[in-house]
Amino acid sequence: MQRRKALLLAGDLGATKTTLALYDATAWPGAPLRQQIFQNRAFANFDSLLAAFLESPQPAPVAACLGVAGPVLANAVTMTNLNWSIAAADLQTRFGIHRVDLINDLVATALGALHLEPQDLHCLNPGKKRDGTALAVLAPGSGLGEAFLLPHNGTHFPCPSEGGHASFAPRNEEQIDLLTFMRQQHDHVSVEQVCSGLAIPDLMAFVATREPTPDWLQAELYQAADRTPVIVQAAISAARGERPCAIAIHTLNLFLDILADEAANLALKTLALGGIFLGGGLAPRLLPLLDPHRFMAVFARGTYRDLLARIPVQVIVNPQAALLGAAAYGFQTLHQGRADTTAL
Kindly give the confidence (pLDDT) of every residue in the chain, 344 residues in length, as a single tens digit, with 9 standing for 90 and above: 444 457 999 999 998 899 999 999 888 888 999 999 999 999 999 999 999 999 877 778 999 999 999 999 999 999 988 999 999 999 999 999 999 999 999 999 999 999 999 999 999 999 999 999 999 999 999 899 999 999 988 888 999 999 999 999 999 999 999 999 999 999 999 999 999 999 999 999 999 999 999 999 999 999 999 999 999 999 999 999 999 999 999 999 999 999 999 999 999 999 999 999 999 999 999 999 999 999 999 999 999 999 999 999 999 999 999 999 999 999 988 777 644 433 33
Burial group, residue 50, by CB count within 10 angstroms (0-12, 13-18, 19+)? buried
Q: Which strands make up the sheet holding 85-87, listed edge to edge?
A: 72-73, 76-78, 85-87
Is residue 100 within 8 Å of residue 63, measured between CB atoms? yes
For residue 37, list its beta bridge partners: 19
Is residue 82 within 8 Å of residue 15, measured between CB atoms? yes
The Cα-based distances of 197 to 2, 118, 141, 145, 148 in angstroms read 40, 27, 5, 12, 22
Q: Name the strand (E) or helix (H) holding 249.
A: helix 246-270
Q: Name the strand (E) or helix (H) holding 13.
A: strand 7-13
Alpha-carbon distance of 53 to 169, in angstroms, equals 42
DSSP 214: P
DSSP 128: -
Q: Name the strand (E) or helix (H) holding 237.
A: helix 227-239
pLDDT of residue 284: 96
Collect all residues with Cβ–Cβ distance below 8 Å to 97 and sequence separation of at least 6. 9, 60, 61, 62, 63, 64, 91
Collect all residues with Cβ–Cβ distance below 8 Å to 223 and sequence separation of at least 6. none
Helices 173-183 and 246-270 cross at an angle (nearest 10°) of 100
Q: 265-274: string of b/e by CB count within 10 Å (b at 16+)?
A: bbbbebbbbb
Alpha-carbon distance of 233 to 300, in angstroms, equals 29
pLDDT of residue 343: 35
CA angle 311, 313, 316 (to 5 degrees): 150
pTM: 0.89
Is residue 39 within 8 Å of residue 17, measured between CB atoms? yes
The CATH 3.40.367.20 domain(s) of the chain lie at 164-316
pLDDT of residue 337: 62
Alpha-carbon distance of 158 to 108, in angstroms, equals 8
pLDDT of residue 233: 98
Dihedral sign from CA coordinates of 209, 212, 215, 221: negative
pLDDT of residue 27: 85
User: Does the 164-316 domain belong in CATH 3.40.367.20?
Assistant: yes
Is residue 34 within 8 Å of residue 19, measured between CB atoms? no
Dihedral sign from CA coordinates of 211, 235, 105, 44: positive
Alpha-carbon distance of 109 to 114, in angstroms, equals 9
Q: Which CATH architecture fits 7-111+320-336?
A: 2-Layer Sandwich (3.30)
Alpha-carbon distance of 83 to 224, in angstroms, equals 23
Q: Is 311 helix (H, G, I), strand (E, B) or coil?
A: coil
